[in-house]
Amino acid sequence: MNMKRNVTTVIASVLLSGITAFGIVKAATPDAMGQVSHNPDGSTYRTVNLSLSDYPDFTYAAENSVDAVVYVKVTVKTQQQYVDPFGYFFGYGEPRTRERVQQGSGSGVIIREDGYIVTNNHVVDGATDVEVTLNNNKTFKARIIGTDPATDVALIKIDANGLPAIEFADSDKLRLGEWVLAIGSPLGEALRSTITAGIVSAKGRQMPSQRNPGEIKIESFIQTDAAVNPGNSGGALVNKEGKLVGINTMIVSTTQAYSGYSFAVPSNIVRKIVGDLIDFGSVKRVVLGIAGGTVTEELAEKLKLSSVKGVYISEVMKGGAAAKAGLEKEDVIVSIDSTAIGSMSELQEKINGFRPSDKATVKFIRDGREKSTVVTFEGTLDATGTVDEDGTVVFYGAKLKAVKNGVEIVSAGNGKVAQAGGADGYVIQYVNDQKVSKPQDVIDIAKKSKRSVFVEGVTGTGRPFYFGFGKDE
């Protein structure tokens, strides 16, 4: 009798526990299935009811980061040459110059409490005056510390302390579908500190259609659907913790306004660039010494790869870092320091984080087998005075060669010469009031200058033109 009573008690306890557990789970779980409703035609559909706690909450992220985003106003003054048509008609017209003033704006992000602010290169490019307005409406004059056209990143500074700086996040850890906030001034000063939300739509995006012919770009954009407009350039893209995951840079649209696609430079790229600009005054970029591209389906079949991922090496530069490490043509790079490499943009992003003499372990596929090697990265061959294979000499990013009436800019590049107004085909005749006849003359005179370089000459069409720029301190 007692045994039956005990068995009955155990069974009842189990049933009661099960019912209780089911009730607790049911009460704690939102009704994701919802209710079934009927259309007039007899078909059915479900409605989903979400409680307020089921919606994403961005208040902490917004409040934690909005004060670190600033409004950047720039003034660009240029000298235009013109000829008085009346005087030209009578044969005594002389070229004259007049000043042209343009204004633009964008956004910026405070990354250090002592006044360092990151923005886009295209926001401050050519600026003669930069003004920053904080979220508390205080305004400061800013100076440009350095720029990097290849990544469209620039660093400016204001004289202030105790500023609300934003913390960098690891952009490599961003996941597709993750919520992000875009903060900036989308349509100018009237809409400062605007916050919009979206998700990470894609990673490692490249925009080849946005480049000029021959222009060097390092692109591995974060794509989002957060509403962004031109004034957001240089503003913050933050995660749900309010940490910086990217710098908003561009939109793709046929109307010049937001249409669902916005792109940001990953924070890991930004952090390295601004670190170099602060520590060295210029970007310390490295090269692997290969040519190639993202693996295609045809290449994967030809090389018998297990997946359509990686970077195919079509050429290895003699004497480069890759060649010295033993990499060969038709190798496929699949990882660098345990970071998987699935495309050329991912390779560029990873390599951009290294400095000259840094070492990394590169895994690659050769003849169907995975191998590894250690690469010692080398600096780029763009230092002033470097002689290229074609005989041209590098001068602040430009390539020079001697011609009959001076020194021609064969390629303006994207350094200080190009930023100051130098263009392909321009012939340098004087540097700091001294006549030049060969590239070495230009370099020697510039080296002797303490602060700036002033260049006089003629354009490719024979028009007199001059420009100047400040030297790196």
* pTM of the complete model: 0.66
Domains of the chain: 2-47 (no CATH), 56-281 (2.40.10.120), 286-379 (2.30.42.10), 393-470 (2.30.42.10)
Handedness of CA 241, 245, 248, 252 (dihedral sign): negative
Of 87-101, 180-194, 217-231, the one with minimum mean pLDDT is 87-101
Res 393: pLDDT = 82
User: Greater confidence, 351 or 118?
Assistant: 118
Res 413: pLDDT = 74
145-158 mean pLDDT: 92
Please report the DSSP string for 45-87 in residue order. Answer: EEE----GGGS---HHHHHHHGGGEEEEEEEEEEEEEEE-HHH
Q: Write out pLDDT tens, residues 205-224.
A: 887 555 554 455 677 899 99
Residue 108, token pair as written in the block: 């910026």
Q: Write out pLDDT tens, residues 10-62.
A: 455 545 555 555 554 455 444 444 566 666 666 666 666 656 566 688 999 99
User: Greater confidence, 459 or 19?
Assistant: 459
Q: How far apart are the C-alpha atoms of 393 and 404, rounded to whole Å?
A: 17
Instruction: Specify burial of residue 307 (Cβ count, 10 A radius: 0-12, 13-18, 19+).
Output: exposed
Q: How far apart are the C-alpha atoms of 217 and 39, rounded to whole Å?
A: 54
Q: In 189-244, which ranges are continuous DSSP H helix?
A: none
Res 213: pLDDT = 44
**Confidence band (pLDDT; 50, 70, 90) for 235?**
very high
Q: How far is CA 443 from the centre of its chain?
A: 31
Of 78-82, 83-87, 369-373, 453-457, the one with minimum mean pLDDT is 83-87
Q: Write out pLDDT tens, residues 120-138.
A: 999 999 899 999 999 999 9
Q: Name the pairing type of β-strands 194-205 and 179-184.
A: antiparallel
| Coil vs helix vs strand at 11 | helix
Which residues does residue 109 pair with via DSSP β-bridges, in sequence order? 69, 118
Res 212: pLDDT = 52
Just list the catalytic residues.
Answer: 122, 152, 233
Residue 263, token pair as written in the block: 């792109």
Q: How far apart are the C-alpha atoms of 99 and 116, rounded to whole Å?
A: 31
Q: Write out pLDDT tens, residues 396-420.
A: 878 899 999 999 999 887 677 887 8
Q: Write out pLDDT tens, residues 420-441.
A: 889 999 999 999 999 999 998 9
DSSP 125: T
Handedness of CA 135, 139, 142, 147 (dihedral sign): positive
Among residues of the chain, what percentage have pLDDT more than 70? 78
User: Greater confidence, 66 or 250?
Assistant: 66
Instruction: Say which residue the tokens 């700091």 belong to.
Output: 432
pLDDT of 108 above 80: yes
User: Residue 369: how many CB atoms within 10 A of its CB?
Assistant: 7
Res 282: pLDDT = 77
